[in-house]
């Protein structure tokens, strides 16, 4: 699983040409992964301002709006891939254009039903 984190609002800071180039790169990577059979799925997530956060306080759930205000980045989406190796997944994540704009990609294995990956 490739988890995409970036700064809220960074896309709006880009020029239209930069936005077009960024989305073009994402489309090219997704097409490559689809054609190679490595793409399992993926989705962008809605704006963090629409988020609800549930935490435990005194043993009870408390719901608040949005993520923590002090967060400098948010979980923006994911791409699920089926790769031959972790190195291949890292190579794909390294090419993700958000990384050049202060974002980051987290590469994590998805556990199988047996959970032996722990």
How many distinct structural domains can be found in the chain? 1
In a domain, 114, yes or no: no
Q: Would you state the pLDDT for residue 67?
A: 66
* Residue 32 CB neighbour total at 10 angstroms: 13
Q: What average pLDDT does the chain have?
A: 90
In a domain, 42, yes or no: yes
| pLDDT greater at residue 76 or residue 65 | 76
Q: How far apart are CA 6 and CA 12, in angstroms?
A: 12
Rounded to two decimals, the pTM is: 0.83
Q: How far apart are CA 68 and CA 77, in angstroms?
A: 18
Closest to 42 (Cα-Cα) out of 78, 75, 74, 76: 78
CA dihedral 51, 10, 75, 56 (to 10 degrees): -40
Q: Would you state the pLDDT for residue 64?
A: 87
In a domain, 112, yes or no: no
Per-residue pLDDT reduced to its tens digit, 80-117: 999 999 999 999 999 999 999 889 999 999 887 766 65
Place of tokens 């990577």: 29
In a domain, 69, yes or no: yes
Q: Is residue 103 within 8 Å of 5, Cβ to Cβ? A: yes
Q: Output the domain CATH number for residue 12.
A: 3.30.70.1060
Give the structural domain span for 40: 2-107
């Amino acid at each position: 699983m490739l988890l995409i984190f970036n700064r809220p609002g960074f896309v709006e800071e880009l020029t239209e040409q930069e936005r077009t180039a960024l989305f073009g790169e994402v489309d090219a990577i997704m097409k490559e992964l689809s054609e190679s059979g490595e793409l399992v799925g993926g989705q962008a997530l809605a704006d963090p301002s629409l988020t609800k956060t549930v935490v435990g306080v005194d043993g009870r759930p408390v719901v608040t709006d949005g993520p923590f205000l002090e967060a400098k980045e948010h979980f923006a989406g994911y791409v699920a891939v089926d790769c031959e190796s972790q190195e291949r997944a890292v190579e794909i994540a390294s090419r993700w254009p958000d990384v050049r704009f202060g974002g980051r990609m987290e590469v994590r294995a998805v556990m199988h039903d047996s959970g032996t990956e722990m």
